[in-house]
Amino acid sequence: MKRWSKHWKASKQPRKQRKYYRNAPMAVKHKLVSAHLSKELREKYKARSFPVKKGDEVLIMRGKYKNRSGKVSRISLKTSKIFIEGLTRKKVAGTEIQFSIHPSNLKITNLNLSDQERLKALNRVLNK
C-alpha cells in the first residue's frame, strides 16, 4: 500500500484528507504548517498566510494563552505544532515543558527575514 500520494488531496473524504496530512513528506508538511498574516503584513506582501519559521513573532488567537505574543522557538513538523518562547506549563511531576500550539490558532505579526530562501519565496508571492 502507498504511504503517500499527492492525489489524495483531491479527495473529499475526511479520512483521506487526514491520511494526506499525516503521511505527507516533510517538504509538503512545511507548507501545511502555515499561519495567517496580520493585516499590515497581508497588505505589504499581498498574501493571506505563510509558512511559520523559527524566529517569527506570532500572536495567539485561540485557547488558554489567547492574546499573548512571542517568538517561535521551535517547530515540530512531525506533529505540526509550534513552540513559543515563554509559554510553559507544569507537568504533574513538577517539571516545566514548552506548550505547543497548532498554527491555525496563530497570527504572524512579524516575519523573520534572515533567510534568503524565504525572501525569494516572498518575492515570488509579490510578483504574482
Q: Looking at residue 47, what DSSP letter applies?
A: -
pLDDT digits (tens, 9 = 90+) for 92-106: 999 999 999 999 999
Sign of the alpha-carbon torsion through 66, 70, 73, 78:
positive
Domain ranges of the chain: 33-126
Residues 6+ apart with CB under 8 A from 122: 45, 47, 50, 111, 113
Assess contact for 65 and 83: CB atoms under 8 A: no
Q: What is the pLDDT of residue 5?
A: 85
Assigned CATH for 33-126: 2.30.30.30
* pTM for the predicted model, two decimal places: 0.88
Reported residue count of the chain is 128
The per-residue pLDDT for range 11-31, each reduced to its tens digit, is 899 998 898 988 999 989 999
